[in-house]
A and B are shown apart, each in its own frame.
Chain A
Amino acid sequence: MKKLFPLAAAFIALLLCSSHDMYLKLDSFFLQPDSKASILLYNGTFAASENVIDRDRMLDVSIVANGQRNRIDTTNWREDDNVTILDVTTGEPGTYVVGVSTKARTIEMEAEAFNNYLAHDGVQDMLTNRTDNDKLTQDANELYSKHVKAIYQVGDNKTSDWKIKLGYPIEFIPRANPYNLKVGGVLPVQLLLDGKPLANQIVTIDSDGGSHAHGHDHEHADGEEHEHDSEDGHTHDGGTQVRTDANGNFTVNIANDGQWYLRTIHMVEVEDEELTHESNWATLTFEVAHGHDHADGDHAHDGDAHTHADGTTHSHEGDDHHHEEGGLPGYVWWLGSLVLVAILFVYFKRQQA
Chain B
Amino acid sequence: MNRLAKLLPFLILLAYPMVVSAHGVSDSDQEILNNGGLLAYILVGAKHMVTGYDHLLFLAGVIFYLSGFKDIVRFITVFTIGHSITLIGATYLGIKADEHLIDAVIALSVLYKGFENLKGFEKYFKTQSPNLLFMVFIFGLIHGFGLSTRLQSFAIGTESFLAKIVCFNIGVELGQIAALIPIVFLITRWQKLKSYQAFYKAANVYLIIAGVALFVYQMWGYFNGGH
Please give the residue numbers on chain A whose beta carbons come within 8 Å of chain B beta carbons, in ascending order.
93, 155-158, 160, 163, 175-178, 180-182, 184-188, 249, 293-298, 318-322, 324-325, 327-331, 333-335, 337-338, 340-342, 344-345, 347-349, 351-352
Contacts and interface: CB of A to CB of B under 8 A. Distances in A.
Nearest to A322: B225
Contact of B22 (A93, A328, A340): A328
A175 B158 contact: yes
24 contacts: A180-B30, A181-B30, A181-B155, A185-B155, A186-B34, A293-B27, A296-B27, A296-B150, A320-B225, A322-B225, A325-B26, A329-B22, A330-B20, A330-B24, A331-B21, A333-B22, A334-B17, A335-B17, A335-B18, A337-B206, A338-B13, A338-B18, A349-B195, A349-B198
Given A188-B157, A331-B18, A345 B23 contact: no
Contacts of B201: 344, 348
B89 interface: no
A338 to B, nearest CB: 5
Interface string B134-155: 0000000000000000100111
A102 B195 CA distance: 78
A331 B15 CA distance: 11
Contacts of B219: none
A319 B150 contact: no
Contact of A341 (B18, B23, B51, B203): B203
Given A160-B94, A328-B22, A185 B34 contact: yes
B153 A180 contact: yes
B100 interface: yes
A93 B226 CA distance: 9
Nearest to A293: B27
Contacts of A331: 18, 21
A181 B34 CA distance: 9
B200 to A, nearest CB: 8
B210 interface: yes
Given A296-B153, A327-B217, A348-B198, A182 B30 contact: yes
B85 interface: no
B131 interface: no
A328 to B, nearest CB: 7
Contact of A297 (B26, B35, B53): B26
Nearest to A187: B155
Nearest to B51: A330
Nearest to A296: B153
B174 interface: no
Given A322-B100, A333-B53, A345-B198, 19 more contacts: A155-B227, A157-B227, A175-B158, A176-B157, A178-B155, A188-B157, A249-B159, A296-B153, A296-B154, A321-B226, A324-B22, A325-B26, A327-B217, A329-B21, A334-B17, A337-B210, A338-B18, A344-B202, A348-B202
A182 B31 contact: yes
A296 B53 CA distance: 16
Contact of A322 (B24, B26, B99, B210): B99
Contacts of B206: 337, 340-341, 344
A273 B24 CA distance: 65
A325 B30 CA distance: 14
A348 B196 CA distance: 10
B153 A158 contact: yes
Nearest to A325: B26
A335 B19 CA distance: 10
CB-based closest 3 A-B pairs: A330-B21, A176-B155, A330-B22
B155 A155 contact: no
B11 to A, nearest CB: 11
Nearest to B195: A349
B81 interface: no
Contacts of A181: 30, 155
